Amino acid sequence: MKMRVLRLVLLCFALNSCIGIDYLDDPIIGESIEISPDPIAVVAGNTVQANFIFKDQYGIEKDVSPVWSTSPPDVATVDDKGVIIGRKSGQAFLIVYHNTSEWYLLK
C-alpha cells in the first residue's frame, strides 16, 4: 500500500513539474522587427505592400499591430495596413513602431 501511495505521489510530481514553458533555458536575443520586401521601391502613383514581422525577446513571432508612417509624406505615404503609396519622385523613410522603432529607406 505504501508503495502504491509513493508511486501516486511521484506521478503527481512528475505531471505537475513541467508546465511547457521553459524561460530559464531560452536565450534572450532582444525584440526585433523585420520588414519585407527589402529594399522597398515604389513608383509615383503606384502602391507596394510592406509586410511586418515582430519577434519577442526569445525570437518567437508575435501577432502585433504596428504603427506605420513615412517621412517626408509628400514623397510617399503609408496606411495602417502597410500599403505604401508613391506620391512623387524622391527618397523617403518608412517608419515602423512597436515598442522599438525601425527606419527603412524607400526609393
H or E element at residue 8: helix 2-17
Provide Rg for the chain, Cα atoms: 24
Rounded Cα–Cα distance for residues 43 and 37 (Å): 15
Q: What is the pTM of this model?
A: 0.66
* Beta-carbon contacts of residue 88 (< 8 Å; ≥ 6 apart): 44, 74, 75
C-beta contacts of 101-105 below 8 A and 24+ residues apart = 102/33, 102/35, 104/35, 104/38, 104/39, 104/40, 105/39
Q: In CATH, what number does 27-106 get?
A: 2.60.40.1080
Return per-residue pLDDT of the chain as tens, 107 residues. 777 776 776 666 666 655 556 556 667 787 888 888 888 899 999 999 999 888 888 888 988 888 899 999 999 999 999 999 999 999 998 888 877 656 555 55
